[in-house]
Amino acid sequence: MQMYAMIGVRQTKLKSVLSMIKQLKFIKNVNTVYGEYDIVAELNTRNNDASNSLLKQIRETDGVNTIKTFVVSDAINEKNSIFS
């Protein structure tokens, strides 16, 4: 199950939150961003239970204020492009 998590973080905790998230199983990529959220993480889990467990770990991390998730419905790449 592929999804993206937009994570709002207290600025004084940004480094520690990043460090913790990067170590979690099923995290594919982590990036800091400008805007409403501070971190975008790409998650790739086996199933719904694993996703819920991972998101709970992130939510309960000291310094995490908000989290918004986006579940991927269709993975689009150059071979599987809607524009081809």
For residues 69 and 84, the model is more confident at: 69
Per-residue tokens: 75: 């993975």
Which sequence spans correspond to the domains of the chain? 2-74
Question: pLDDT value at position 7?
Answer: 98
Q: Which residues pair with 29 in a beta bridge?
A: 42
For 44-64, the pLDDT digits (tens) are: 999 999 999 999 999 999 999
Per-residue tokens: 36: 């409403």
Question: pLDDT value at position 82?
Answer: 59
Cα separation, 25 vs 44, whole angstroms: 9
CB 16 within 8 A of CB 39: no
For 5-43, the pLDDT digits (tens) are: 999 999 999 999 999 999 999 999 999 999 999 999 999
Per-residue tokens: 41: 């993480």
Report H helices in the chain: 14-23, 48-59
CATH number of 2-74: 3.30.70.920
| 3 state DSSP class of 78 | helix
